[in-house]
Structure 1
């Protein structure tokens, strides 16, 4: 559904807002807070709906047919034979559209009439949502919906924090922490002070990016940076916060929620495309049949028709001369046969197909064999148009974490200062017995660790071990909560939760945080670390850092991917780097997820100089992200390597069997993951995507375009070239493959087949237009393909590459926000409702709770849907042609005079 909103007269490049100054804000004619998602009203419903329906070729065709039937000289059938079916189809569609739009009107009214409290003249006034405007200061209380996109001014929390639930926006039910600026937090609950607040907000124009906001606040001659942490979005619910004040920045159609409610991309199935071709062919066939009948009638009229005037008298408009009269009658008969044989073009086809698809969707939704009992989650068809396409899938692109694995992280091993902990020690008789952490009042019963050497190293006062766990307790974005007097961590990432939990059980308990401090309990001693700066993690940086001050000493703590951290270490650490790298390779061989940890001591003067430039970049309205990245690069260097962590993420039940069965069905599976190469390969063997019969995989890990191209050529030349004599002739020049002509059969690659592993940094060069066909040439002939260290954008590009060059149906499956792009790019998107929120589920066509259900979804429901639809279409067209050809054969006995076989 396409939303209709009032557009501003000129495109915004930036937005200026003055709180409490309605006269100033009114000059810019910003959108009000009224939303309207309905398509029709009482006056426009009939004309607009009919216009939309007659834009469909089939409906327009039958409208033209009805007009022909109204001409007595042409039609031998009553117009009622076309009018009633056409009216039936139009009425059913109109009733459905009307019902849907009435529901939208009801929903709009409910939302627009919600109550908010607006500060007017120093007093709070009750106002419905649709009357809230940009620049208004509103007060929200606990468990209340946020009326618009608003910038926080003050909260009930003394540290200026508030918590929101964003399930309506991204599907995540865990609470997110937002905070107001220190300068505005001092306003508190003073309505007089807030109503006289005279700051000026300069920010970006409305957009649909939920994770990004850039702006500045000028107040008391000072300029403050605004980002996504200061913004509450419409659709959020305020939680665990008594009250907060905020100023409206975006309202109504300009809010990020509504900006993301645009028209979805319509996905068409191969059967839909085939139907259009068939119907076009039938129309051409109908015209040829009518032309044949008209010619036959003209010949008959010229030869014998004049003698039958007593039975078939000519109309007055027909010339009495035999030849001329025959020509005119033949012309009229042409149109008469269009009416008579019109049933070969089925008027009810599309309605029947949609009804069948609807019931097929019910079968998917009701399938108890795809119900995940622990969460009582059924499979769900979020679209009804792609059921039969499930049976035609040839390529599956799968995420790893949370899709093939459980995404429940457990701290298993670590490397600290070149020493590995957590390995199986046969000399320790108690190794199979987990360590007892009960002496720690904050221990977790679910946490298990077996290597006592790490406990002894910690108890002996090893400073490297202490620094390692201190980093884990400080470098994160977790929010603590007290639930039933128990300390509970709210983590947006399961990885972070596992690491902070490990530090907690080893005696480094993260207790609380404010915007400017982090409290950690270390062996009973409470320490308050001043939090100076957070350099956030993202999929491009692949690292996160915090800068803290304790007892006058400044330190930067950083954790991230090994390839990223190693590039930023100070020299003369070759020994510990080599040992740590060896340990990480060993961990990856066990299928564990690894992170590198590093620290840097900072000089106070250097930090203050850097902080000034960082603040300048943070308040810039042009290229802010690029400038902040440059400042982060400058700070995150010359670090000292502490070690590495290793986290276990177990495979989901039934994954190996599912992959094996899908491979037997001829479906090719590509795994696209952000993990390092060794971890991805090991998981590949664990889930039977890779097998020993395949031999060593082709590794594409070049650091430049020339190396990547040579590695791809070497891999292509290593593949056997024996599929057939024709293919050998077509592919004699292996140096210049054409992707469309590449044999799409991995069976040509020997008995066990071959596999391909591509690193993310090499994929940048492999996806270049000059080399993408070469990449596809190799990948198409491999049984298994793994792309590691890839970004969300690279995932989408890989899917798009196969879509563009292969005439094959693609399916993407994932569970997190970083999988949304590839889910939307593929012909079919499948989301897994797991541990990473519901972004993938909200963007998908089908949702399942476990990867193993994909087998039944494709091989049972997909096959049955395709088979049943094809069988239905075959008999549908057979029925129509059988009925129409009765009139055609009758023409041999009626002089092709367009007479009906039976009368009604």
Structure 2
């Protein structure tokens, strides 16, 4: 592609392709990396250590395969699950990167995105993305229109322009291929609004800045094609530099399980090792007092020289026996449960978005229970809360209201078929406005004429009659389209004229001046000369500003119009409003003003202030025409979803790159802010001192029902903690003008200092960093951008699906996981601690109570399916009640169902149950004889009685814990118990014992023991005594120690005993006063670009 060279200053040059990485593994690193991650779980590391101990014959109290087989199963299942998860991420990324671009290499070739290299010249067409230095485009002066919604959330179009020396090449492939310039530019960084560089071409240096660069994440709009030079690719692009690092996310319960494993495994400090130490001392004492009596037929091994040595070996032998204090199948069971609950999300038809054929997707299987513990939700605005669709909804013209009332909802749309140039997508429901236009109402005509003239929209007519408006702001596009449909069609413009088709008649207006928009002015005006030679000024802007500029004669009309804005008609729907006014100018006055305007425009000192003063001189004594109301259409169900989240005490923060007025307006529309709040506090200081003063000013009056609006630059100082403290006291928070990296920093702040579970949700590439930073990242899929979805943990198409994700799937997953962990630890404590009591009756000899095969199968077979049934199918209440009572979500936020306190309860219950399970069977068979007179108190019979009592007791316990029984639950629970009795006869059968006498040693024990009444007495007594405290606690707790959830459950049970009332449809109250009265925005200075003529569609003559 020519001899073009790209140099990166201060950075060692290397070739970087355009591929991006969202998957974790590859074929080479999968095994080591996955094993490394798995052995970060202390239980896995613990069992690896245990396996090494079992290979030492002097202390091996259990066969090595009793540990290695379960450990291999655990590691294999987890590895397969992780591989499947990562393959899904890799496939999504591959699909994304298979898109192609046109690359120039002396001729045009098609390349995949992943193959684009630094220094390539590529061709982009309309609606394509890029990361290039702009060289030329199809538009005059090589202008290119871009949309940056994925980068900063702003929907208004922005303009980029190539430098003149490269724009001359246009689409000439020969010239482009021969391009041999050299670029020196800054190293890759995350600054989206800054770029510095120098292009050296033909011996001349040309300054490059941000206006010449089109970033990855931008989309080309309303431009047929453009050519650009690839500056950064792959991870070096500013978009990816803002994406943050991928982190391996673990849930709070994962961290808690690691702590609990430490509790039961650290030497000499916690239960297992304390018990081993006690038993070793007991063994030493026993050997010194009684052991010598057995030396004749049970002598010490040659490596045992004293009772102290023997006790040391016994310590490690009991360490192996008591290893089930930390259940080996704990983590693999957790992974299976998470996988099953992830399938429920993927299969949820109520989260399937039919218009785009997009299902919900759980892109990870490790965070499900964390969904039931969210306290903060961080949301993007554009494309997440809103649809990016602006609709002209209502208007007030000369004191009369037009638009859709509630009682007009059943009426049909207005028929615009009489207007051949009408936009077929436009909808309006009040035919009285069309009738006013048709009968020639002067004020209505003047109102729509103002909308068709006062703007910076650029029209494009590619096919006769098919107009396309290039609007910098979707608000402006909606207003001009409304005027078009009501018969005032903005058709074309030049730098000096505007063509409008008024009720079928074409008129040319001379464009005399555009008084440009600014954030301070909050208005714009145009001055035109009509075909009748009248000089007219048309102005539109915020009502708070225009009301001060109206002529005194408009007082009564202003009051009526303000009533429309303030009382009910506009504000009750949370619409974005602005006022429209005009002024007829004397020709001599305008000529004099024009001279002043030109003088101010050419001024070298204090230019902006002088221009502002000149604007104010002519923008006064305006005559009010009316007001418009535009609906920034929200996604379906957004206000209701946020209302429900607030009821669940989940705080919603909106982090957006958009301007403050727009963000606050949306906050009111979607119920983050509302009128009942005690106040809205705005922090907009640009330095530490100013921010501190603002915080101090309203610090004492802050209440929970307050709202806070933060500007991004307020976070740049060292007051982040003060701002965070203030923000967390407020119910609703809006952060404006945020860069992607700042979004992530806000999330990190809350994570670090509040110690709560955070969720970030967004749809664009500018949301990737906060999605990665949050505990849970949710991507809105089905939009134009795929980056958010590719980097998310969960993906779906509509914001309101967040309700089901959290309140149904998240809450159920959390409840199930907590029940699972409580039961799992309990059953293992009860199982293991029986060995401790038995040691006192076996000379502390490290003899196991149970048969070796029972120890092997207890966690993997006998008790695995019942707890999986509980963890996959249990529901405390169904999904209807879960959504109706979002307050049920609160226990998860405070982690009430499984914590260190609950763990201690499991331990105490396990100790109690182990005492019952040991001493009840011992008492039942003590000095007992069979019907033939033989004693039954032998080791093997006692072992079978204890293990059968244990299994029946833990099965009864899980039956008590289960609140929602399914057929599968019954099969898993009772089938596992039945399977135990079946396999008992098989393992203790004569055939197996005779064939493998060293492996199967309990010959005929099953049939002999199960016939004993003492055995069944032990089983029944043990089972009843084990579950009796649980029944008592479950009965007494709601009576004497009720919590809010208990009261809600009682209400639900009361409702279930009576006919179900119709669903409560909460009518959300919209704001009763205006928030941001300014609905219209475009880039400051665009008016000057219009009048310069650089936006004309007439092509420049090519240089010869």
What TM-score results when the alignment is normalised by the length of structure 1?
A: 0.69
Equivalence for 1:738: none
Which of 356, 360, 384 is the aligned partner of 2:337? 356
Equivalence for 2:813: 865
Equivalence for 1:65: 50
Q: Distance in 2 between matches of 1:217 and 1:528?
A: 42
Displacement of 1:194 in angstroms is 2.8
Equivalence for 1:647: 630
Specify whether residues 893 and 769 from structure 1 end up closer, same or farther in structure 2 by C-alpha distance, changes over 3 A only: closer
1:98-131 CA distance string (max 9 Å, x none):
67788999999999999987666x6668989888
Q: Distance in 2 between matches of 1:632 and 1:299?
A: 100
Displacement of 1:629 in angstroms is 11
Structure 1 residue 326 and structure 2 residue 307: aligned?
Answer: yes
Which of 463, 487, 505 is the aligned partner of 2:485? 505
Which of 328, 342, 346 is the aligned partner of 1:347? 328
Equivalence for 1:893: 841
Q: Distance in 1 between matches of 2:88 and 2:801?
A: 33
Q: Distance in 1 between matches of 2:67 and 2:115?
A: 50
Asked if structure 1 preserves the Cα contact closer than 8 Å seen for 2:449 and 2:483, the reply is no
Asked if structure 2 preserves the Cα contact closer than 8 Å seen for 1:268 and 1:385, the reply is yes
Which of 700, 719, 736 is the aligned partner of 1:713? 700
Compare 790-799 and 842-851 and name the one that shifted more.
790-799
After superposition, residues 446-461 of structure 1 pair within 5 angstroms as 446-448=426-428, 452=433, 455=437, 460=442
Higher-helix-fraction structure: 2
1:267-315 CA distance string (max 9 Å, x none):
4433223322322222232222222222222222222223322444323
Q: Distance in 2 between matches of 1:314 and 1:107?
A: 64
Equivalence for 2:277: 291
| Structure 2 gaps, min length 5 | 584-589, 684-689, 853-998, 1000-1104
Specify whether residues 656 and 255 from structure 1 end up closer, same or farther in structure 2 by C-alpha distance, changes over 3 A only: closer
Which of 86, 101, 118 is the aligned partner of 1:134? 118
Specify whether residues 437 and 613 from structure 1 end up closer, same or farther in structure 2 by C-alpha distance, changes over 3 A only: farther
Equivalence for 1:623: none
Structure 1 residue 383 and structure 2 residue 364: aligned?
Answer: yes
Give 1 or 2 for the bigger CA radius of gyration.
Answer: 2
Asked if structure 2 preserves the Cα contact closer than 8 Å seen for 1:413 and 1:646, the reply is yes
Q: Secondary structure at the match of 2:58?
A: coil
Compare 401-410 and 375-384 and name the one that shifted more.
401-410
Structure 1 residue 304 and structure 2 residue 290: aligned?
Answer: yes
Displacement of 1:363 in angstroms is 0.7
Q: Distance in 2 between matches of 1:709 and 1:688?
A: 24
Q: Distance in 1 between matches of 2:291 and 2:359?
A: 69
Which of 216, 233, 246 is the aligned partner of 1:264? 246
Which of 285, 301, 314 is the aligned partner of 1:315? 301
After superposition, residues 829-848 of structure 1 pair within 5 angstroms as 829-830=777-778, 845-848=793-796
Compare 372-381 and 359-368 and name the one that shifted more.
372-381
After superposition, residues 593-612 of structure 1 pair within 5 angstroms as 593-595=576-578
Specify whether residues 401 and 39 from structure 1 end up closer, same or farther in structure 2 by C-alpha distance, changes over 3 A only: closer
Q: Distance in 1 between matches of 2:80 and 2:667?
A: 54
Which of 51, 74, 77 is the aligned partner of 2:59? 74
Asked if structure 1 preserves the Cα contact closer than 8 Å seen for 2:414 and 2:427, the reply is no
Equivalence for 2:13: 30
Displacement of 1:372 in angstroms is 3.9
Q: Secondary structure at the match of 1:341?
A: helix
Which of 426, 451, 456 is the aligned partner of 1:469? 451
Displacement of 1:367 in angstroms is 1.5
Structure 1 residue 86 and structure 2 residue 47: aligned?
Answer: no
Q: Secondary structure at the match of 2:183?
A: strand
Compare 47-56 and 573-582 and name the one that shifted more.
573-582
Which of 817, 823, 838 is the aligned partner of 1:875? 823
Which of 574, 578, 585 is the aligned partner of 1:591? 574
Specify whether residues 594 and 760 from structure 1 end up closer, same or farther in structure 2 by C-alpha distance, changes over 3 A only: farther
Compare 399-408 and 168-177 and name the one that shifted more.
168-177
Displacement of 1:442 in angstroms is 1.6
Displacement of 1:360 in angstroms is 0.9
Displacement of 1:26 in angstroms is 12
Displacement of 1:768 in angstroms is 7.0
After superposition, residues 185-204 of structure 1 pair within 5 angstroms as 185-204=167-186
Q: Distance in 1 between matches of 2:24 and 2:654?
A: 41
Specify whether residues 389 and 107 from structure 1 end up closer, same or farther in structure 2 by C-alpha distance, changes over 3 A only: closer
Q: Distance in 1 between matches of 2:351 and 2:827?
A: 36
Q: Distance in 2 between matches of 1:681 and 1:410?
A: 18
Which of 351, 362, 378 is the aligned partner of 1:370? 351
> Number of aligned pairs?
805
After superposition, residues 787-866 of structure 1 pair within 5 angstroms as 787=733, 790-792=736-738, 808-811=756-759, 827-830=775-778, 845-866=793-814
Displacement of 1:460 in angstroms is 3.6
Q: Distance in 2 between matches of 1:608 and 1:238?
A: 37
Q: Which has the higher contact order (CA 8 A, sep 6+)?
A: 2
Asked if structure 2 preserves the Cα contact closer than 8 Å seen for 1:792 and 1:822, the reply is no
Asked if structure 1 preserves the Cα contact closer than 8 Å seen for 2:421 and 2:465, the reply is no
After superposition, residues 536-615 of structure 1 pair within 5 angstroms as 584-586=565-567, 587-595=570-578
Asked if structure 2 preserves the Cα contact closer than 8 Å seen for 1:32 and 1:132, the reply is no
Asked if structure 1 preserves the Cα contact closer than 8 Å seen for 2:183 and 2:199, the reply is yes
Asked if structure 2 preserves the Cα contact closer than 8 Å seen for 1:507 and 1:521, the reply is no
Specify whether residues 450 and 710 from structure 1 end up closer, same or farther in structure 2 by C-alpha distance, changes over 3 A only: farther
- What do you get for the CA RMSD once the two structures are aligned? 6.0
What TM-score results when the alignment is normalised by the length of structure 2?
A: 0.58
1:778-818 CA distance string (max 9 Å, x none):
x4xxxxx3456955579888877766665654555566788
